[in-house]
Amino acid sequence: MKVLVPVKRVLDYNVKARVKADQSGVDLSNVKMSMNPFDEISVEEAVRLKEAGTATEAVVVSIGPAKAQETIRTALAVGMDRGIHVQTDEDLEPLAIAKILKAIAEEEGAQLVITGKQAIDNDYGATGSMLAALLDWPQGTFANTVETSGDSITVKREVDGGLQTVKLTLPAVVTTDLRLNEPRYARLPDIMKAKKKQIDAKTPADYGVDTAPRLTTVKVTEPAGRSAGIKVESVEALVGKLKTEGVI
């Protein structure tokens, strides 16, 4: 079974995002970038499937600028076999990304696509489901547990009421949630080996995908600051404040 894992280069989750002066977007100049945390979980799951002998090859793909190769190398260092870099300086929308991934999955003959449930920069959370729809494959989203058996895969999904178990017939798409696994750290020898692993260079045009945006960002603003708290003298005063402030 060949596993395909899309990864995205995003603003590191430890960095405080700054809005550009013209409010056109987030300022990404001179800030630390890293792999999307949900994608780290996807990579770990693919590597585990390979180590268990379930997957024969694990391929990582990233769609983004030239520096996205660093993100691919990170995935290769923890155990992925080879990479595909679709280079573009455009900030592509989920539909365009899903169309490119569809073409890659068909070209590679992938039987399983594991992707993060969302990217922490835009929070669309749509690419995995769009990809499943385009491929006409079953999908297991928000995966908490993944178990393979023959030509099927069982996914426990995190839902509002607890866990929902679904059984999918391969090929399929799985999107990962936070509690699926604990991503490993790359060891120095593996980081050095990753520099020699193959990364195929592609562009969206190679797959005949129209990447024209369908959405326009009107304005990006920082969240409002928290107001200062107050002290009350008694429980009665607290209840009164809650009622007058409209909380209860």
Least confidently predicted of 81-85, 166-170, 217-221: 217-221
pLDDT of residue 247: 56
Average pLDDT, the chain: 93
Contact 6, 40 (CB under 8 A): no
Long-range contacts of 217-221 (CB under 8 A, 24+ apart): 217/24, 217/25, 219/23, 220/19, 220/20, 220/23, 220/24, 220/25, 220/26, 221/19, 221/23
Instruction: Look at residues 198, 137, 218 and name the one whose alpha carbon lies nearest to residue 170.
Output: 137
pLDDT of residue 30: 87
Least confidently predicted of 156-170, 172-186, 230-244: 230-244
Angle value at C-alpha 239, between 237 and 241, nearest 5 degrees = 70
Q: How far, in Å, CA of 35 to CA of 21, rounded?
A: 26
pLDDT one-digit tens code per residue, 122-148: 899 999 999 999 999 999 999 999 999
Question: Taking 60 as the threshold, does the pLDDT of residue 200 lie above it?
Answer: yes
pLDDT of residue 38: 97
Domains belonging to the chain, first-starting first, are: 2-244 (3.40.50.620)
Instruction: Look at residues 146, 164, 142 and name the one whose alpha carbon lies nearest to residue 45.
Output: 146
pLDDT, average across residues 109-115: 97
pLDDT one-digit tens code per residue, 70-99: 999 999 999 999 999 999 999 899 999 999
Contact 97, 2 (CB under 8 A): no
Question: Taking 80 as the threshold, does the pLDDT of residue 246 lie above it?
Answer: no
Q: How far, in Å, CA of 33 to CA of 15, rounded?
A: 9
Question: Taking 60 as the threshold, does the pLDDT of residue 4 lie above it?
Answer: yes
pTM: 0.88
